[in-house]
Structure 1
Amino acid sequence: MSRTFVRGGGGFRVSGWVLVAAAAALAVVLVAGLVLAVVRLRRSRSAPTEADGPTPLPSAPDPGPEGTRRDLRPVGPQRPGDAVSGVLPRDLAGPPGGLALLQLSSQFCADCRASRAVLTDVAGEHPGLTVREVDVAMRPELVRLLGIRRTPTTLVVDPAGVELARHVGVPRRADLLGSLAPWRRTG
């Protein structure tokens, strides 16, 4: 399929595919312009006014640790040992007289499966130690409030909901046992 255009005595031929490619390029440019216009409109509607007070300075972007799969930036810093009982519901805190290994994971995380195996193995050898798992997609408020930036992240939590230790990534068995040692009863 080709068309011949005649102009002033000379002619040239244009392939049908060239016309299709040109139409597709024009459509892409129009869609990109529409998206840009919508984004600018939304930003202008949500922009603070002078009555709202001074605009806070933007913080520098935090790329997260090496190997981060998702950008899950916390709202504020969370230090190990800070009480999180107001954040964690009772079903995520440690059992009475014991500790919980709380794994924050995601559905398509291969490391989460490996982490779950380590946690289950350690908990099976220590009475009073339970394993609980939370999918971050189902509980995004925990991600923000606890400062979770990567899955898997494992928290050691006491019965009051206090974070005692944190392991990011697949915990090594020795490291996990080391973080449990100060809080485990001996005898």
Structure 2
Amino acid sequence: MPLTSALIAVATLVAVAIVAGAVWRLRDGRRRDGADAIDLTGLGVHEGRIALVQFSTETCTRCPQVRRMLQSIASARSVDHVEVDLTHSPDLARRHHVLSTPTTFLVGTDATLVARFNGVPRRADLEAALSELPALQEAS
């Protein structure tokens, strides 16, 4: 009987891990909208400019891929791309509730958090979020 209980416990843990992993994968890179004012101190963002803020760390394996994508989008759309290395600024991670890297913020001209992407953002979602900004609609 004890062996059966142990097998049931292991099977339950494996099932929970699979479900948790599936949920995590579905949420990775998804856009979450915001409209909250953001404290730009320490981020290197210029007020009055739209910015893509990438939070990364030295050990992040997916961050270079995100950096290249954000730089490409930023140059095509004439917006700023700022990368913040949380290895040297853990206080910024706490202040902005960044629990994993890469994390990307889309910051509007009025210093509001327009959208947040945890993980590798989907390019189409990022482009759509940028297209919705009034400042970029007027420039088109």
Alpha-carbon distance in structure 1 between the residues aligned to 2:110 and 2:57: 25
In structure 2, do the counterparts of structure 1 residues 147 and 91 end up closer, same or farther at CA, with 3 Å as the change threshold?
closer
Q: Which residue of 1 aligns with 2:80?
A: 130
Alpha-carbon distance in structure 1 between the residues aligned to 2:60 and 2:129: 24
Q: Which residue of 1 aligns with 2:137?
A: 185
% same residue: 31
Alpha-carbon distance in structure 2 between the residues aligned to 1:137 and 1:160: 28
Q: In the TM superposition, what whole-angstrom CA distance separates every residue of 1:32-70 from its partner, at most 9, and x where no partner exists?
A: xxxxxxxxxxxxxxxxxxxxxxxxxxxxxxx9x737xxx
- 1:71-150 → structure 2 map (5 Å cutoff): 80-85=34-39, 88-89=40-41, 92-96=44-48, 98-127=49-78, 129-150=79-100
What displacement does 1:91 show?
Answer: 5.2
TM-score (norm 1): 0.52
Q: Does the alignment pair 1:66 with 2:24? A: yes
Q: What CA RMSD, in Å, does the superposition of the two structures yield over aligned residues?
A: 2.2
Q: What amino acid does structure 2 have at the position aligned with 1:130? A: D
- For the pair shown, which has the larger CA radius of gyration, 1 or 2? 1
Structure 2: runs of 5 or more not aligned? 1-19, 26-32
Structure 1: runs of 5 or more not aligned? 1-62, 68-78
TM-score (norm 2): 0.68
Structure (1 or 2) with the greater helix fraction: 2
Structure with larger RCO (C-alpha < 8 A, sep 6+):
2
